[in-house]
């Protein structure tokens, strides 16, 4: 991993209330910042949140958060821990982390992939950016 990527990840950990590079929390936040795996960012108002659904697919967890017009799909491990943060409007933002950091997450939530989809539509809202990633 490059030095710049390491520096960004370390800064995110310091800036995050949770100390986790994959998510940040606050007190009764009104807007949810999603940094998708394709490089795009989304600001979603929590008052448009309809429901969430957690499931296990092929050995990894998925947490799908449905808003009025969009769905945010998080793929990773220990995602159920985020449910309390969502229920109390404390989840401020989510971002994926490089998979090599998954082992160091321990029992904390780890997000390896995030996609934003149109609600009820299996395809992404926009085409993923080609970053040479094997995902």
Q: Is residue 15 within 8 Å of 23, Cβ to Cβ? A: no
pLDDT at 103 over 70: yes
Q: What is the mean pLDDT of the chain?
A: 82
Give residue limits of the domains in the chain: 3-118
pLDDT at 125 over 70: no
Across residues 117-127, what is the average pLDDT?
A: 72
CA atoms within 13 A on the CB side of 67: 20
C-alpha closest to that of 44 among 88, 10, 89: 89
pLDDT digits (tens, 9 = 90+) for 44-78: 999 999 999 999 988 889 999 999 999 999 999 99
Structure tokens that stand for 9 in this block: 């990840």
Percent of the chain with pLDDT over 70: 76
**80: which DSSP letter?**
G
Reduced to 3 states (helix: H, G, I; strand: E, B; else coil), residue 98 is: coil
pLDDT at 102 over 50: yes
Q: Is the pTM of this model over 0.85?
A: no
pLDDT at 8 over 90: no
Question: What is the pLDDT at residue 121?
Answer: 72
| Cβ neighbours for 115, distance < 8 A, ≥ 6 positions apart | 36, 37, 38, 72, 73, 75, 124
How many CB atoms neighbour CB 56 within 10 A?
10
Across residues 7-13, what is the average pLDDT?
A: 49
């Amino acid at each position: 991993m490059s030095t710049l990527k390491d520096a960004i990840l370390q800064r995110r950990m310091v800036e995050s209330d949770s100390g986790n590079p994959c998510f940040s929390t606050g007190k009764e936040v009104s807007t949810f910042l999603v940094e998708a795996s394709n490089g795009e960012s989304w600001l979603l108002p929590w008052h448009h949140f309809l429901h969430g659904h957690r499931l296990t697919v092929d050995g990894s967890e998925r947490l799908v958060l449905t808003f009025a017009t969009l769905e945010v799909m998080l793929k990773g491990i220990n995602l159920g821990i985020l449910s309390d943060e969502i229920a109390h409007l404390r989840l401020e933002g989510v971002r994926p982390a490089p998979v090599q950091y998954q082992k160091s997450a321990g029992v904390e939530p780890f997000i390896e992939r995030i996609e934003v989809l149109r609600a009820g539509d299996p395809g992404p809202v926009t085409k993923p950016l080609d970053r040479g990633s094997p995902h």
